[in-house]
C-alpha cells in the first residue's frame, strides 16, 4: 500500500472561452472540473501504474464533497479529515483564440489546530499499513513550515518510507526528518538558497550532501532536460525519451509517483529512475495533469537512459 498525503487539495476547474477580455462578460463554452492538486495527481498515476493507493488530507464544504465524489469515481480510497471552510477551486481559463492559459489559485481554507492533530493521527495509522508515504504540494494556511517534518517523522517511525515533493521552507524543514526520498524541481532546489539558478555540478554536490545527511534517495527534476539523482552517494543523470509534449504540467507529480512505485517494489535504482521518467513523459503526452497510460509508460521506459556519474 502507498499512502498519498495531500494537505491542500483543489478542484481544478477549466473554462474554455473563445477570447479572454478583462472587464467584459464571457459566455463559457465548456466547463470541466476534476479533483486536482499535486497529491491527487500522484495518487491517480500510482493507480494507473497498478499500485494500491489511499489518499489523506483536508477537505471542506461543497468543493470538499466534490473532491470525495471525484476520488470515488477514480476508484481511489480516501480517509480525508474534514475542516471548516471550503476546499479551494483553482481556475484555469483557456483562451482559444490567443491560445493562452490564465490561472487563479485560491489559498485554501485555514487548518484549525485540533484538525492538524487529527490528521497526524490519520497519517500515523495509514503509515502502519503502508510501505511508502508520499508528501506532495504546498502547505495550506494555518500550518507552519514544520508540517512535513512532523509528518515524515510520524510516517517513518511506523517503518514506512517517506517521499517528499515540495519546495521552500517546508522542504528545508522536512529534510531535517531524513525522508527516504526527496524530489524538488530545479527552481524549488535553488529556492532553498534564495537563488534562481544552480549549475548541475552544484546540484549534484547538494544531492550528495543530502545522502550524507541520511536522505538516501535524492533527486532534482529539470523539465525536458530530465533529472539528476544521487542514491547512497552514487550520482546519476537521467535522460528522458524524446517526445512531442502536449502538456508537461503534472509531469513532476508523475515522476514522484514513479519513484514511489519503484521504491515500493524495491526495484534497482536505474529501474526506479527510468520508471519515474517514463511516467513523467507519459503525463506530458496527455492534456490533463496526472494522466498516464500504463502500456505507454512501459514502452517509454525502454527509451530512458540512466548514466552513472563519476566522482
Ligand atoms: N518536454 C519533456 N519531454 C520529456 N520529458 C519531460 C518533458 N518535460 C518534463 N519531462 C519529465 O518530467 C519530469 C519532471 O518535470 P519538471 O522538472 O518540470 O517537474 P515539476 O516542475 O515538478 O512539474 P509539476 O510540479 O508541474 O508536476 C522531468 O524530470 C522529465 O523527466
Ligand atoms: Mg513539482
Would you state the cell numbers that stand for residue 105, as one nine-digit string?
489559485
Instruction: Indicate which CATH number applies to the domain containing 32.
Output: 3.40.1190.20
Query: Does the pLDDT of residue 51 top 80, yes or no?
Result: yes
Q: With residue 92 as reference, give the H or E element that holds it.
A: strand 88-95
CA 82 to ligand 2 center in whole angstroms: 26
Q: Note the Cα 58 to chain centre separation in Å.
A: 16
**Contact of 230 with 207, CB cutoff 8 Å:** yes
**Contact of 203 with 235, CB cutoff 8 Å:** no
Model pTM score: 0.96
Q: Which domain holds residue 58?
A: 2-308
Least confident of 70-79, 109-118, 187-196, 265-274: 187-196
How would residue 69 be classed by pLDDT, with cut points 50, 70 and 90?
very high
Cα distance between residue 308 and residue 272, in whole Å:
14
Q: Quick: pLDDT tens for 130-143.
A: 999 999 999 999 99
Q: How many separate domains does the chain show?
A: 1
Ligand 1 pocket, residues with Cβ under 6 angstroms: 185, 221-224, 226-227, 240, 243, 245, 248-253, 255, 277, 280-281, 284
Q: Quick: pLDDT tens for 206-265.
A: 999 999 999 999 999 999 999 999 999 999 999 999 999 988 999 999 999 999 999 999
Query: What is the model's pLDDT at position 59?
Result: 97
Cα distance between residue 240 and residue 248, in whole Å:
13
**Contact of 69 with 45, CB cutoff 8 Å:** no
Query: Does the pLDDT of residue 32 top 90, yes or no?
Result: no
**Contact of 188 with 168, CB cutoff 8 Å:** yes
Q: Quick: pLDDT tens for 141-151.
A: 999 999 999 99
Query: Does the pLDDT of residue 178 top 90, yes or no?
Result: yes
Q: Whose grid coordinates read 549534484?
A: 204
Nearest of 177, 77, 183, 180 to residue 137 by alpha carbon? 183
CA 249 to ligand 2 center in whole angstroms: 8
Query: What is the model's pLDDT at position 31?
Result: 86
Cα distance between residue 120 and residue 255, in whole Å:
26
> Half-sphere exposure of 272 toward its Cβ, with a 13 Å CA cutoff?
23
CA 255 to ligand 2 center in whole angstroms: 9
Query: What is the model's pLDDT at position 98?
Result: 82
Amino acid at each position: 500500500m502507498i499512502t498519498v498525503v495531500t494537505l491542500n487539495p483543489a478542484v481544478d476547474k477549466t473554462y474554455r472561452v473563445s477570447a479572454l477580455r478583462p472587464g467584459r462578460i464571457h459566455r463559457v463554452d465548456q466547463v470541466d472540473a476534476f479533483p486536482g492538486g499535486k497529491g491527487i495527481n500522484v495518487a491517480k498515476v500510482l493507480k494507473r501504474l497498478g499500485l494500491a493507493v489511499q489518499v489523506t488530507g483536508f477537505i471542506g464544504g461543497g468543493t470538499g464533497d466534490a473532491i470525495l465524489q471525484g476520488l470515488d469515481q477514480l476508484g481511489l480510497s480516501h480517509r480525508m479529515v474534514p475542516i471548516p471552510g471550503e476546499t479551494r477551486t483553482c481556475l484555469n481559463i483557456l483562451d482559444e483564440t490567443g491560445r493562452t492559459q490564465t490561472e487563479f489559485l485560491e489559498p485554501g481554507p485555514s487548518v484549525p489546530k485540533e484538525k492538524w492533530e487529527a490528521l497526524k493521527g490519520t497519517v500515523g495509522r495509514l503509515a502502519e499499513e503502508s510501505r511508502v508515504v508520499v508528501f506532495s504540494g504546498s502547505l495550506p494556511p494555518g500550518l507552519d513550515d514544520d508540517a512535513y517534518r512532523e509528518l515524515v517523522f510520524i510516517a517513518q517511525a511506523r517503518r514506512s518510507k517517506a517521499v517528499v515533493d515540495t519546495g521552500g521552507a517546508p522542504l528545508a524543514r522536512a529534510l531535517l526528518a531524513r525522508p527516504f526520498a526527496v524530489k524538488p524541481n530545479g527552481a524549488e532546489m535553488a529556492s532553498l538558497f534564495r537563488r534562481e539558478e544552480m549549475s548541475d555540478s552544484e546540484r549534484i554536490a547538494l544531492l550528495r550532501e543530502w545522502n550524507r545527511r541520511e536522505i538516501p534517495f535524492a533527486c532534482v527534476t529539470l523539465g525536458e532536460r530530465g533529472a539528476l539523482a544521487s542514491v547512497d552517494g552514487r550520482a546519476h543523470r537521467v535522460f528522458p525519451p524524446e517526445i512531442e509534449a502536449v502538456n508537461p504540467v503534472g509531469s513532476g507529480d508523475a515522476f514522484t509517483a514513479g519513484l514511489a512505485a519503484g521504491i515500493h517494489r524495491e526495484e534497482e535504482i536505474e529501474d526506479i529512475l527510468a520508471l519515474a521518467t517514463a511516467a513523467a513523459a507519459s503525463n506530458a503526452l496527455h492534456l490533463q495533469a496526472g494522466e498516464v497510460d500504463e502500456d505507454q509508460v512501459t514502452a517509454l521506459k525502454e527509451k530512458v537512459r540512466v548514466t552513472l556519474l563519476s566522482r
